[in-house]
Chains A and B, each alone.
Chain A
């Protein structure tokens, strides 16, 4: 056993939070992240197991379930992202650590839909994307996941390696919305 130690470094977003007009972009810490992909025919059982262990079941496509510090977000075809807690033993699913692969931003304020209209080809107005809705989409050439985690907050997850480009791109869109 050596006394070797590793330091933890957050994604390279540049200085955050930034505020432009009525909107604020900040770096969020969603805690541990795990992808869960139930094996064939096991989705219901996996959902029950999650509900029992962390109090949140698997939501349908385009949705997010949150309770306490845990959340489960639809993440694609037969794929969910568990956040905030370590996953329980899920023998019926492929579980993969994703806690370091993503940079997570919170975009908060009343003009979130206007900012996102400049970034992603999806309608994020509350009527189309209500509280706890979750999507996967493309943001200026970058694959992202977006979820409405509170009425005025959009949570944007992108690849960790793209943290600085994401910060710059989202900030520019915020500046434009503030100016128009």
Chain B
């Protein structure tokens, strides 16, 4: 219940919220957990496996029990820790894993079955046929066990990702972090202070103690005010640093208070020259019988609720610990009006006090379904029972070393503190300070924060002015660790995964002695809390069970993220159209206006075909467009092809090196088809290369490989042949390029060129400058269709206008625009290649292009292409196929077999790479890679498409189906 006074909550700001269907009220400054406790609610959830009733154990992000689902509908958020949820007006939360209700949970029967549900239970019990496991056991287990659920609907929530940069990142805003930030801020460093909580101060907000002559919380607030006044300091509250990555990069998740248009969360990547880790410590529960009952709480959390939230988590308390903090807890409780029924101190020489103190004793067992009392085992062996509704326990503190281990550093065991500490230098540039580094008093934390910042400043070349340290508590609490209390009963180690001491001992007995095996066998340390409260205790039990020390047993690997991150935050910006950039050619509006369905080619959008009235299928449009090119003239947007401008005194020598064939002999004003190989001898890309000037070439690439070719050429220029003086720059975007193909292509072109072409100076494979409508343009007489054809390139701003007018003029001649489908038909009819054939596994030899591998020079891939395996006769090599039997259909991706063999994998002779219906020839044609293909022209093979269930007898033939001599393109 709420205390009459005190706390860091705003008593004038009442916030209504709902939990489990009921309406409650809390105060501004509350977490959901403190507001529930203020309303006397102690049962907040059911456990993962046994469906045991659970309460609130902690007051921070380490909370294993109090998991709730926030909100409703598509946007509901499962597994929120009530201890970290900032209360807001209208908040709605529901318990998880309970049916039909939180109070009466049908699956609580699991708890009675617990002797049968120990570690490894599933593996041992649900043996049997694989399919039964998948269809019966696993779905049943998943329904029974588990945490909250996603809505499985698309939520209308906004997340974002961002970058930040600083000289010094301070992780944690407790005493050490605040002091580090003050020291660095005053020295003028660019500082980010990141803290998980919505109120900076850490334990200073939770303890009753003086810092600098005022309350700790007061000092923290004043420090924050000072920091806020510094323009070089950014305070990022509600920001959990979740991971450490290379070169001073840190991941951090910031939650934002709700407001219109504001994203829910920002996932930050913070690049810091130096960092101070002031992450504090996490208190350990004691493994004692029934320690998971609602009403059992960590002592530090009890003080947080009393002092920060002005909430009493019980009426009658037993305090159990082995340090002077136990008396502090008892004193805070008494001050709040909570009766302290017993102070149980496991140390023989307990601090004297006026509480009912049991020195050298332990709390052995919790009584009641929710805490009704405890059984105390006295030093003399007698048991005494004490009535209570709250057990405040502390086994000691585990320094929060997680982030120091993210680059694979292992923490170091400190015998005097009985704790793991960050290994020195575990993360370059990260300096641990304060209680995460073993400091046990507030004064030591403040001093450590200042010292760590001073070290960082020295590294940064800044001078620390070293602000004065405020006076603070400096008395060592003389803590002694308690891990497990002897005695019968189930003692929880990992509350979230329902792992008890027995499970860990069982794992050890069954020879899962490695800590990593134990973790996987018992599931200890998994799920949202990642074993923050129970991890080290589990090690201590495993160490005992295997007769090793804790450091010998070692820790499991601490991996990012430190705190849960919604995938929506990591993937922010990638939803819907944000998945990838959309690239549109200059003529895009024309394609859309003509109703062309667009198809993606890499990031580009290209028109598939241009449907006309009366055409019912894409094939009708495609056939018309292909015939149009063969008979009159077609116009095609080819702007997406990659274009690389190559210049420099050594441009020719460089191109001879990257192309397998020779480009230095190409005459100015001419174009040559070229092949580029990868270093491993396979074909990377093909395309044309035009010589524009003596030292000036234009390389064209396929659409899909433009980026890869540019990168490859840059690599070759910078690394393989750095002695060559050559410059590469992409001009893909500069030029809008249109193909004009067909018997009337020259006539159409002459309609738009400022001066008509002289056929004598424009033979096949010529290139040069022209002007169109007064605009300088580049013209190439090249053909991907086998027809007399050109490609004309104008600066992109004119691309739409030129394409639109060429289409109109082509239509007037009985031609028109053609899209990707017709383009593909035309090139297959000619046996020309695309990446269906250049699939990354084919060589020049495979594609009957061995002649393009020059023997007179070195080039990328030459040595590897000469390997015997890449020249073997039985390699699948390019052929054409056409149907010869009753079935006329060909399909791409189908396999080829000898007609008399079974169509099994072992008998496969090759694959079909491309197919098309040729309107010119009146039947399907295909390109295929067939073993010893070129030697088998005229033979019959069987094409089998196992997926589409098509089987077609085919004749193997030359891949050039149409005009094999090439006269139409040349004349």
Answer whether residue B734 sits at the interface, using C-beta atoms and an 8 A cutoff: yes
Q: Is there contact, CB below 8 Å, between A117 and B262? A: no
- Interface residues in A126-180 (C-beta closer than 8 Å to B): 127-128, 140-142, 159-166, 168-169, 172-173, 175-176, 178-180
Q: Is there contact, CB below 8 Å, between A118 and B733? A: no
Q: Is there contact, CB below 8 Å, between B727 and A9? A: no
> A141 → chain B, closest Cβ, in Å?
5
CA A84 – CA B266 in complex, angstroms? 39
Segment among B20-28, B203-211, B642-650 that sits at the interface with chain A: B642-650
CA A172 – CA B263 in complex, angstroms? 11
Answer whether residue B586 sits at the interface, using C-beta atoms and an 8 A cutoff: yes
Q: Is there contact, CB below 8 Å, between B798 and A6? A: yes
Q: Is there contact, CB below 8 Å, between B162 and A7? A: no
Q: Which residue of A lies closest to B726 (CB)?
A: A94
Answer whether residue B502 sits at the interface, using C-beta atoms and an 8 A cutoff: no
Q: Is there contact, CB below 8 Å, between B584 and A164? A: yes
Q: Which residue of A lies closest to B585 (CB)?
A: A161
CA A45 – CA B160 in complex, angstroms? 47
Q: Is there contact, CB below 8 Å, between B261 and A175? A: yes
CA A1 – CA B753 in complex, angstroms? 8
Answer whether residue B805 sits at the interface, using C-beta atoms and an 8 A cutoff: yes
CA A77 – CA B728 in complex, angstroms? 11
Centre residue among B573, B645, B729, B794 by max chain A CB count within 10 A: B729
Question: Size range of the interface on B?
Answer: 35 or more
Q: Is there contact, CB below 8 Å, between B772 and A180? A: no
> B318 → chain A, closest Cβ, in Å?
46
Q: Is there contact, CB below 8 Å, between B773 and A4? A: yes
Answer whether residue A48 sits at the interface, using C-beta atoms and an 8 A cutoff: no
> B266 → chain A, closest Cβ, in Å?
8
Known pairs A12-B584, A117-B162; A78 contacts B727 (CB<8 A): yes
Answer whether residue B731 sits at the interface, using C-beta atoms and an 8 A cutoff: yes
Specify which chain A residues have a CB less than 8 angstroms from the CB of B583 in the assembled complex.
159, 161-162, 165
Known pairs A97-B795, A142-B581, A160-B733; A121 contacts B260 (CB<8 A): no
CA A162 – CA B604 in complex, angstroms? 9
CA A102 – CA B729 in complex, angstroms? 13
Answer whether residue A51 sits at the interface, using C-beta atoms and an 8 A cutoff: no
> A28 → chain B, closest Cβ, in Å?
15
Specify which chain B residues have a CB less than 8 angstroms from the CB of A120 in the assembled complex.
163
> B809 → chain A, closest Cβ, in Å?
9
- Interface residues in B754-792 (C-beta closer than 8 Å to A): 754-755, 772-775
Known pairs A37-B729, A140-B578; A2 contacts B165 (CB<8 A): no
Q: Is there contact, CB below 8 Å, between B801 and A1? A: no
The interface residues of chain B, by DSSP majority, are classed as mixed
Q: Is there contact, CB below 8 Å, between B581 and A6? A: no
CA A142 – CA B753 in complex, angstroms? 35
Specify which chain A residues have a CB less than 8 angstroms from the CB of B577 in the assembled complex.
165, 168
> A53 → chain B, closest Cβ, in Å?
20
> A71 → chain B, closest Cβ, in Å?
18
Q: Is there contact, CB below 8 Å, between A9 and B797? A: yes
CA A70 – CA B870 in complex, angstroms? 54
Answer whether residue B111 sits at the interface, using C-beta atoms and an 8 A cutoff: no
Specify which chain B residues have a CB less than 8 angstroms from the CB of A35 in the assembled complex.
729
CA A157 – CA B448 in complex, angstroms? 47
> B476 → chain A, closest Cβ, in Å?
43
Answer whether residue B591 sits at the interface, using C-beta atoms and an 8 A cutoff: no
Specify which chain A residues have a CB less than 8 angstroms from the CB of B165 in the assembled complex.
123, 125, 128
CA A98 – CA B727 in complex, angstroms? 15
Q: Is there contact, CB below 8 Å, between A6 and B772? A: yes
Answer whether residue A15 sits at the interface, using C-beta atoms and an 8 A cutoff: no
Number of A-B contacts (CB under 8 A): 155
Interface code B794-806, partner A: CB below 8 Å = 1, 0 otherwise? 1111111110010
> B590 → chain A, closest Cβ, in Å?
11
Known pairs A79-B729, A179-B263; A5 contacts B774 (CB<8 A): yes
Known pairs A6-B802, A12-B589, A180-B256; A40 contacts B773 (CB<8 A): no
Specify which chain B residues have a CB less than 8 angstroms from the CB of A1 in the assembled complex.
754-755
Q: Is there contact, CB below 8 Å, between B796 and A121? A: no
Answer whether residue B874 sits at the interface, using C-beta atoms and an 8 A cutoff: no
CA A4 – CA B804 in complex, angstroms? 13
Interface code B1-26, partner A: CB below 8 Å = 1, 0 otherwise? 00000000000000000000000000
Specify which chain A residues have a CB less than 8 angstroms from the CB of B799 in the assembled complex.
9
> B55 → chain A, closest Cβ, in Å?
36
Q: Is there contact, CB below 8 Å, between B751 and A2? A: yes
Specify which chain A residues have a CB less than 8 angstroms from the CB of B647 in the assembled complex.
37, 94, 96
Answer whether residue B190 sits at the interface, using C-beta atoms and an 8 A cutoff: yes
Answer whether residue B735 sits at the interface, using C-beta atoms and an 8 A cutoff: yes
Q: Which residue of B lies closest to A75 (CB)?
A: B729
> A137 → chain B, closest Cβ, in Å?
10
Interface residue from B603, B648, B774, B797 paired with A100 (Cβ < 8 Å): B797
Answer whether residue B164 sits at the interface, using C-beta atoms and an 8 A cutoff: yes
Q: Which residue of A lies closest to B161 (CB)?
A: A118
Answer whether residue B229 sits at the interface, using C-beta atoms and an 8 A cutoff: no
Q: Is there contact, CB below 8 Å, between B727 and A179? A: no
Q: Is there contact, CB below 8 Å, between A7 and B801? A: yes
Interface residue from B158, B161, B260, B727 paired with A94 (Cβ < 8 Å): B727
Specify which chain B residues have a CB less than 8 angstroms from the CB of A94 in the assembled complex.
645, 647-648, 696, 727, 729
Q: Is there contact, CB below 8 Å, between A121 and B797? A: no
Specify which chain B residues have a CB less than 8 angstroms from the CB of A142 in the assembled complex.
581
Q: Is there contact, CB below 8 Å, between B584 and A140? A: no
Q: Is there contact, CB below 8 Å, between A117 and B580? A: no
Q: Which residue of B lies closest to A121 (CB)?
A: B163
CA A160 – CA B799 in complex, angstroms? 12
- Interface residues in A67-89 (C-beta closer than 8 Å to B): 77-79
Q: Which residue of B lies closest to A21 (CB)?
A: B261
Answer whether residue B414 sits at the interface, using C-beta atoms and an 8 A cutoff: no
Known pairs A12-B589, A78-B727, A118-B162; A6 contacts B263 (CB<8 A): no
> B918 → chain A, closest Cβ, in Å?
32
Answer whether residue A99 sits at the interface, using C-beta atoms and an 8 A cutoff: yes
Interface residue from B725, B773, B800 paired with A9 (Cβ < 8 Å): B800
Q: Which residue of B lies closest to A12 (CB)?
A: B584
Answer whether residue B491 sits at the interface, using C-beta atoms and an 8 A cutoff: no
- Interface residues in B15-57 (C-beta closer than 8 Å to A): none
CA A172 – CA B696 in complex, angstroms? 42
Q: Is there contact, CB below 8 Å, between A96 and B801? A: no
Q: Is there contact, CB below 8 Å, between A102 and B733? A: yes
Q: Is there contact, CB below 8 Å, between B261 and A178? A: yes
Interface residue from A117, A161, A178 paired with B733 (Cβ < 8 Å): A161
Known pairs A4-B805, A39-B648; A179 contacts B262 (CB<8 A): yes
Specify which chain A residues have a CB less than 8 angstroms from the CB of B158 in the assembled complex.
176
Interface code A85-113, partner B: CB below 8 Å = 1, 0 otherwise? 00000000010111111100000000000
> A131 → chain B, closest Cβ, in Å?
18
CA A39 – CA B796 in complex, angstroms? 28
Centre residue among A118, A121, A176 by max chain B CB count within 10 A: A176
Q: Which residue of B lies closest to A179 (CB)?
A: B261
Q: Is there contact, CB below 8 Å, between A12 and B588? A: yes
CA A180 – CA B797 in complex, angstroms? 38
> B604 → chain A, closest Cβ, in Å?
7
> A144 → chain B, closest Cβ, in Å?
11
Answer whether residue B316 sits at the interface, using C-beta atoms and an 8 A cutoff: no
CA A172 – CA B761 in complex, angstroms? 53
Answer whether residue B269 sits at the interface, using C-beta atoms and an 8 A cutoff: yes
* CB<8 Å pairs between A and B, sample of 16: A1-B755, A5-B773, A9-B799, A12-B589, A96-B731, A101-B733, A117-B162, A118-B160, A118-B162, A123-B271, A125-B165, A140-B573, A159-B583, A162-B582, A178-B261, A179-B261
Taking beta carbons and an 8 Å cutoff, which residues of A are in contact with B?
1-2, 4-10, 12, 35, 37, 39-40, 77-79, 94, 96-102, 117-118, 120-123, 125, 127-128, 140-142, 159-166, 168-169, 172-173, 175-176, 178-180
Closest 10 pairs between A and B when the two form their complex, measured CB to CB: A94-B647, A179-B261, A101-B733, A37-B727, A123-B165, A101-B734, A100-B796, A161-B583, A100-B795, A6-B773
Taking beta carbons and an 8 Å cutoff, which residues of B are in contact with A?
158, 160-165, 190, 256, 259-263, 266, 269, 271, 573, 577-578, 580-586, 588-589, 603-604, 645, 647-649, 696, 718, 725, 727, 729-736, 751-755, 772-775, 794-802, 805
